[in-house]
Amino acid sequence: MSPLLPPLLLLLLSTQDALALRICSFNVRSFGEAKKEDRSTMDVIVKIIKRCDIMLLMEIKDSNNMICPMLMEKLNGEKLVSVKRSYLYRDHQDGDEDVFSREPFVVWFQSPHTVVKDFVIIPLHTTPETSVKEIDELVDVYVDVKKRWKRENFIFMGDFNAGCSYVRKKAWKNIRLRNDSSFIWLIGDGEDTTVRESTHCAYDRIVLRGPELIDAVVPGSNGIFNFQKAYKLTEEEALAVSDHFPVEFRLRTSRAITSNKKSVTPKKKKPRRS
Ligand SMILES: *[C@@H]1O[C@H](CO)[C@@H](O)[C@H](O)[C@H]1NC(C)=O
Protein backbone atom coordinates (compact mmCIF):
# COMPACT_ATOMS: atom_id res chain seq x y z
CA MET A 1 0.00 0.00 0.00
CA SER A 2 1.36 3.39 -0.93
CA PRO A 3 2.20 5.60 2.06
CA LEU A 4 0.81 8.47 -0.01
CA LEU A 5 -2.66 6.99 -0.05
CA PRO A 6 -4.96 9.90 0.76
CA PRO A 7 -6.21 9.43 4.30
CA LEU A 8 -9.91 8.88 4.51
CA LEU A 9 -12.00 11.25 6.49
CA LEU A 10 -15.36 10.10 7.58
CA LEU A 11 -18.18 10.93 9.84
CA LEU A 12 -19.82 8.06 11.58
CA LEU A 13 -23.21 8.25 13.06
CA SER A 14 -23.57 6.19 16.15
CA THR A 15 -25.97 6.13 19.01
CA GLN A 16 -26.24 6.85 22.62
CA ASP A 17 -29.17 7.04 24.92
CA ALA A 18 -28.24 10.12 26.90
CA LEU A 19 -29.60 13.56 27.60
CA ALA A 20 -27.11 15.26 25.35
CA LEU A 21 -25.54 14.76 21.96
CA ARG A 22 -21.83 13.97 22.27
CA ILE A 23 -19.75 15.18 19.32
CA CYS A 24 -16.16 13.91 19.05
CA SER A 25 -13.07 14.12 16.88
CA PHE A 26 -10.38 11.43 16.89
CA ASN A 27 -7.21 10.87 14.92
CA VAL A 28 -6.90 7.05 15.12
CA ARG A 29 -3.37 7.00 13.81
CA SER A 30 -2.95 4.84 10.71
CA PHE A 31 -6.10 2.80 11.08
CA GLY A 32 -5.62 0.01 8.54
CA GLU A 33 -5.44 -3.76 8.23
CA ALA A 34 -2.93 -4.29 11.04
CA LYS A 35 -4.98 -2.44 13.61
CA LYS A 36 -8.19 -4.05 12.40
CA GLU A 37 -6.70 -7.50 13.12
CA ASP A 38 -5.59 -6.56 16.65
CA ARG A 39 -8.57 -7.53 18.75
CA SER A 40 -7.86 -5.79 22.02
CA THR A 41 -6.98 -2.55 20.23
CA MET A 42 -10.14 -2.81 18.12
CA ASP A 43 -12.21 -3.31 21.28
CA VAL A 44 -10.87 -0.04 22.68
CA ILE A 45 -11.45 1.82 19.40
CA VAL A 46 -15.04 0.62 19.24
CA LYS A 47 -15.60 1.60 22.89
CA ILE A 48 -14.20 5.07 22.21
CA ILE A 49 -16.45 5.55 19.18
CA LYS A 50 -19.52 4.19 20.96
CA ARG A 51 -19.37 6.95 23.57
CA CYS A 52 -20.06 9.49 20.85
CA ASP A 53 -23.14 10.35 18.81
CA ILE A 54 -21.17 12.00 16.04
CA MET A 55 -17.55 11.01 15.55
CA LEU A 56 -15.05 12.50 13.15
CA LEU A 57 -12.44 9.79 12.52
CA MET A 58 -9.14 10.67 10.89
CA GLU A 59 -6.35 8.56 9.39
CA ILE A 60 -8.36 5.61 8.23
CA LYS A 61 -6.04 3.99 5.70
CA ASP A 62 -8.16 1.53 3.92
CA SER A 63 -8.05 1.35 0.13
CA ASN A 64 -10.31 -1.71 0.11
CA ASN A 65 -13.08 -0.01 2.09
CA MET A 66 -13.20 -2.76 4.73
CA ILE A 67 -13.00 -0.66 7.87
CA CYS A 68 -16.10 1.47 7.47
CA PRO A 69 -18.54 -1.40 6.89
CA MET A 70 -16.93 -3.34 9.75
CA LEU A 71 -17.29 -0.36 12.12
CA MET A 72 -20.87 0.32 11.05
CA GLU A 73 -21.71 -3.28 11.86
CA LYS A 74 -20.23 -2.94 15.35
CA LEU A 75 -21.99 0.37 15.90
CA ASN A 76 -25.46 -0.64 14.84
CA GLY A 77 -28.34 1.23 16.33
CA GLU A 78 -30.79 4.04 15.88
CA LYS A 79 -29.70 7.36 14.45
CA LEU A 80 -30.05 10.52 16.52
CA VAL A 81 -28.96 12.81 13.72
CA SER A 82 -29.25 12.79 9.97
CA VAL A 83 -27.21 14.26 7.15
CA LYS A 84 -29.02 16.97 5.25
CA ARG A 85 -26.27 17.78 2.77
CA SER A 86 -22.55 17.44 2.29
CA TYR A 87 -19.87 18.67 -0.07
CA LEU A 88 -16.14 18.62 -0.56
CA TYR A 89 -14.74 22.14 -0.30
CA ARG A 90 -12.95 23.18 -3.47
CA ASP A 91 -9.76 24.99 -2.70
CA HIS A 92 -9.68 27.20 -5.77
CA GLN A 93 -9.61 30.85 -4.73
CA ASP A 94 -7.31 33.09 -6.70
CA GLY A 95 -4.00 33.73 -5.02
CA ASP A 96 -3.96 30.93 -2.47
CA GLU A 97 -4.99 27.80 -4.29
CA ASP A 98 -4.51 24.45 -2.68
CA VAL A 99 -3.79 25.42 0.90
CA PHE A 100 -5.42 22.31 2.30
CA SER A 101 -3.59 19.01 2.40
CA ARG A 102 -6.98 17.34 2.69
CA GLU A 103 -9.93 19.38 1.47
CA PRO A 104 -12.58 19.60 4.21
CA PHE A 105 -15.57 17.34 3.66
CA VAL A 106 -18.35 19.58 4.97
CA VAL A 107 -21.50 18.00 6.45
CA TRP A 108 -24.80 19.67 7.35
CA PHE A 109 -26.50 17.74 10.15
CA GLN A 110 -30.06 17.84 11.34
CA SER A 111 -30.47 16.99 14.98
CA PRO A 112 -34.13 16.92 16.01
CA HIS A 113 -33.47 15.99 19.66
CA THR A 114 -31.08 18.79 20.57
CA VAL A 115 -31.91 22.39 21.42
CA VAL A 116 -30.07 23.46 18.32
CA LYS A 117 -31.78 21.66 15.45
CA ASP A 118 -29.11 21.95 12.86
CA PHE A 119 -25.42 22.55 12.47
CA VAL A 120 -22.61 22.20 9.97
CA ILE A 121 -19.39 20.35 10.73
CA ILE A 122 -16.24 21.48 8.93
CA PRO A 123 -13.56 18.86 9.62
CA LEU A 124 -9.86 19.41 9.18
CA HIS A 125 -6.76 17.24 9.39
CA THR A 126 -3.76 19.41 8.64
CA THR A 127 -0.25 18.62 7.57
CA PRO A 128 1.89 19.79 10.52
CA GLU A 129 4.15 22.08 8.49
CA THR A 130 1.25 24.01 6.92
CA SER A 131 -1.18 23.98 9.82
CA VAL A 132 -1.05 27.78 10.46
CA LYS A 133 -2.21 28.52 6.92
CA GLU A 134 -4.74 25.68 6.91
CA ILE A 135 -6.37 26.74 10.19
CA ASP A 136 -6.56 30.34 8.93
CA GLU A 137 -8.12 29.17 5.65
CA LEU A 138 -11.02 27.54 7.52
CA VAL A 139 -12.55 31.02 7.63
CA ASP A 140 -12.78 30.95 3.82
CA VAL A 141 -14.52 27.59 4.03
CA TYR A 142 -16.92 29.08 6.60
CA VAL A 143 -17.75 32.01 4.28
CA ASP A 144 -18.28 29.64 1.36
CA VAL A 145 -20.55 27.25 3.28
CA LYS A 146 -22.54 30.09 4.81
CA LYS A 147 -23.22 31.55 1.38
CA ARG A 148 -24.12 28.17 -0.07
CA TRP A 149 -26.40 26.84 2.67
CA LYS A 150 -27.41 29.96 4.63
CA ARG A 151 -26.60 28.29 7.96
CA GLU A 152 -25.59 29.92 11.28
CA ASN A 153 -24.23 27.08 13.44
CA PHE A 154 -20.75 25.80 12.71
CA ILE A 155 -18.43 23.25 14.30
CA PHE A 156 -14.81 23.17 13.14
CA MET A 157 -12.89 20.21 14.47
CA GLY A 158 -10.12 17.75 13.88
CA ASP A 159 -6.41 17.25 14.20
CA PHE A 160 -5.31 20.82 13.47
CA ASN A 161 -1.74 20.13 14.63
CA ALA A 162 -2.39 23.36 16.49
CA GLY A 163 0.38 23.28 19.05
CA CYS A 164 4.02 22.85 20.00
CA SER A 165 6.39 23.62 17.11
CA TYR A 166 3.66 23.65 14.44
CA VAL A 167 1.70 26.66 15.72
CA ARG A 168 3.87 28.90 17.85
CA LYS A 169 2.41 31.39 20.30
CA LYS A 170 3.10 34.42 18.12
CA ALA A 171 1.36 32.85 15.11
CA TRP A 172 -2.10 32.94 16.71
CA LYS A 173 -2.73 36.65 16.26
CA ASN A 174 -2.63 36.25 12.48
CA ILE A 175 -4.95 33.28 12.30
CA ARG A 176 -8.44 34.56 11.46
CA LEU A 177 -10.20 31.58 13.05
CA ARG A 178 -8.54 32.72 16.26
CA ASN A 179 -8.30 36.51 16.12
CA ASP A 180 -12.02 36.90 15.31
CA SER A 181 -13.73 36.51 18.69
CA SER A 182 -16.93 35.19 17.12
CA PHE A 183 -15.15 31.84 16.85
CA ILE A 184 -15.16 30.09 20.21
CA TRP A 185 -12.35 27.63 20.95
CA LEU A 186 -13.47 24.72 23.15
CA ILE A 187 -10.05 23.09 23.53
CA GLY A 188 -7.45 25.48 24.93
CA ASP A 189 -3.79 25.91 24.05
CA GLY A 190 -2.69 24.41 27.37
CA GLU A 191 -4.44 21.08 26.81
CA ASP A 192 -2.59 17.88 25.92
CA THR A 193 -4.25 15.82 23.20
CA THR A 194 -1.25 13.51 22.79
CA VAL A 195 -1.00 10.07 24.35
CA ARG A 196 2.79 10.02 24.81
CA GLU A 197 3.88 10.92 28.31
CA SER A 198 6.84 12.79 26.81
CA THR A 199 4.75 15.22 24.70
CA HIS A 200 2.30 17.93 25.72
CA CYS A 201 0.61 19.56 22.72
CA ALA A 202 -2.93 20.74 21.94
CA TYR A 203 -3.02 19.36 18.41
CA ASP A 204 -6.70 18.44 18.31
CA ARG A 205 -9.27 21.20 18.55
CA ILE A 206 -12.95 22.07 18.41
CA VAL A 207 -14.10 25.57 17.46
CA LEU A 208 -17.70 26.82 17.34
CA ARG A 209 -19.48 29.68 15.65
CA GLY A 210 -23.11 30.70 16.09
CA PRO A 211 -24.73 32.01 19.31
CA GLU A 212 -27.49 29.40 19.28
CA LEU A 213 -24.98 26.56 19.03
CA ILE A 214 -22.65 28.05 21.63
CA ASP A 215 -25.58 28.43 24.04
CA ALA A 216 -26.47 24.77 23.59
CA VAL A 217 -23.13 23.39 24.79
CA VAL A 218 -23.41 21.47 28.06
CA PRO A 219 -21.21 23.48 30.46
CA GLY A 220 -18.01 21.61 31.26
CA SER A 221 -18.63 18.92 28.64
CA ASN A 222 -15.81 20.08 26.37
CA GLY A 223 -12.45 18.39 26.74
CA ILE A 224 -10.20 15.49 26.01
CA PHE A 225 -11.22 11.88 26.43
CA ASN A 226 -8.26 10.22 28.09
CA PHE A 227 -9.05 6.64 27.11
CA GLN A 228 -5.79 5.43 28.63
CA LYS A 229 -6.98 6.44 32.08
CA ALA A 230 -10.63 5.54 31.48
CA TYR A 231 -9.82 2.00 30.35
CA LYS A 232 -6.71 1.57 32.55
CA LEU A 233 -4.28 0.94 29.72
CA THR A 234 -0.50 1.09 29.78
CA GLU A 235 1.12 3.76 27.60
CA GLU A 236 2.06 1.02 25.13
CA GLU A 237 -1.50 -0.32 24.96
CA ALA A 238 -2.85 3.19 24.52
CA LEU A 239 -0.33 3.95 21.75
CA ALA A 240 -1.50 0.81 19.94
CA VAL A 241 -4.87 2.57 19.72
CA SER A 242 -3.53 6.00 18.72
CA ASP A 243 -1.01 8.68 19.59
CA HIS A 244 -3.93 11.15 19.94
CA PHE A 245 -6.73 11.36 22.47
CA PRO A 246 -10.17 12.25 21.11
CA VAL A 247 -11.61 15.69 21.84
CA GLU A 248 -15.31 16.20 22.43
CA PHE A 249 -18.23 18.25 23.73
CA ARG A 250 -21.93 17.74 24.26
CA LEU A 251 -25.06 19.57 23.08
CA ARG A 252 -28.13 19.89 25.27
CA THR A 253 -31.23 18.01 24.20
CA SER A 254 -34.69 19.52 24.07
CA ARG A 255 -35.83 16.99 26.66
CA ALA A 256 -33.33 18.27 29.21
CA ILE A 257 -34.46 21.82 28.54
CA THR A 258 -38.15 21.01 28.92
CA SER A 259 -37.77 19.34 32.30
CA ASN A 260 -35.48 22.12 33.43
CA LYS A 261 -38.01 24.79 32.47
CA LYS A 262 -40.81 22.93 34.22
CA SER A 263 -38.98 22.91 37.49
CA VAL A 264 -38.25 26.62 37.25
CA THR A 265 -41.67 27.88 36.16
CA PRO A 266 -44.38 25.34 36.95
CA LYS A 267 -46.97 27.48 35.22
CA LYS A 268 -49.11 27.28 32.15
CA LYS A 269 -47.35 27.97 28.90
CA LYS A 270 -47.62 31.57 27.88
CA PRO A 271 -48.18 32.51 24.28
CA ARG A 272 -44.84 33.02 22.58
CA ARG A 273 -43.71 36.57 22.08
CA SER A 274 -42.26 37.32 18.72
C1 LIG B 1 -6.32 38.48 11.91
O2 LIG B 1 -5.51 37.77 10.99
C3 LIG B 1 -5.61 38.20 9.64
C4 LIG B 1 -4.84 37.22 8.77
O5 LIG B 1 -3.52 37.17 9.11
C6 LIG B 1 -5.14 39.64 9.54
O7 LIG B 1 -5.24 40.08 8.21
C8 LIG B 1 -5.99 40.51 10.46
O9 LIG B 1 -5.51 41.82 10.47
C10 LIG B 1 -6.00 39.96 11.88
N11 LIG B 1 -6.98 40.68 12.67
C12 LIG B 1 -6.74 41.10 13.90
C13 LIG B 1 -7.88 41.76 14.58
O14 LIG B 1 -5.67 40.97 14.44
Q: Express each pLDDT in 46-91 by its tens digit.
A: 999 999 999 999 999 888 888 888 888 888 667 789 999 999 998 7
Indicate whether 96 pLDDT > 90: no
DSSP string of 80-97, one letter each residue: S-EEEEEEEPP---TTST
Question: Of 195, 240, 229, 243, whose CA–CA distance to 38 is shortest?
Answer: 240
Cα separation, 226 vs 224, whole angstroms: 6
pLDDT digits (tens, 9 = 90+) for 157-182: 999 999 999 999 999 999 999 999 99
Whether the CB of 174 sits within 6 Å of ligand 1: yes
Could you write out the DSSP letters of every residue in 205-244? EEEEE-HHHHHTBPTT--EE--HHHHTT--HHHHHHH-SB
With 0-12 CB in 10 A as exposed, 13-18 as middle and 19+ as buried, what is 161? buried
The answer, yes or no, to whether any atom of ligand 1 lies below 6 A from the CB of 133, is no
Query: Does pLDDT of 266 surpass 60?
Result: no
Q: Domain count of the chain? A: 1
In a domain, 100, yes or no: yes
In a domain, 237, yes or no: yes
Could you tell me if the CB of 150 is within 6 A of ligand 1? no
CATH number for 79: 3.60.10.10
Residues with Cβ within 8 Å of residue 242, at least 6 apart in sequence: 26, 27, 28, 29, 195
User: How far from 169 is each of 28, 132, 182, 217, CA to CA, in Å?
Assistant: 27, 11, 20, 27
Counted residue by residue, the chain has a size of 274
Residue 97 has a pLDDT of 66
Ligand 1 probe mutation, 179, 180, 182, most atoms within 8 A of CB: 179
Average pLDDT (255-264) is 44
State how far the Cα of 41 lies from the Cα of 241, in Å rounded to an integer: 6
Q: Are 132 and 185 in contact (CB under 8 A)?
A: no
Q: Would residue 267 count as lying in a domain?
A: no
Residue 141 lies in a domain: yes
- Taking CA atoms only, the protein residue closest to ligand 1 atom 10 is 174
- The CB of 173 under 6 Å from ligand 1? The reply is yes
- Average pLDDT score over residue span 189-209: 98
> Residue 91: what pLDDT?
77
Summarised one tens digit per residue, pLDDT across range 124-138 is 999 999 999 999 999
Range of 41's domain? 8-257
- The per-residue pLDDT of the chain, averaged, comes to 86
pTM for this structure?
Answer: 0.84
- Give per-residue pLDDT as tens, 14-52: 444 457 899 999 999 999 988 989 999 999 999 999 999
Rounded to 5 degrees, φ, ψ at 106 are -90, 135
Q: Is 271 contained in some domain?
A: no
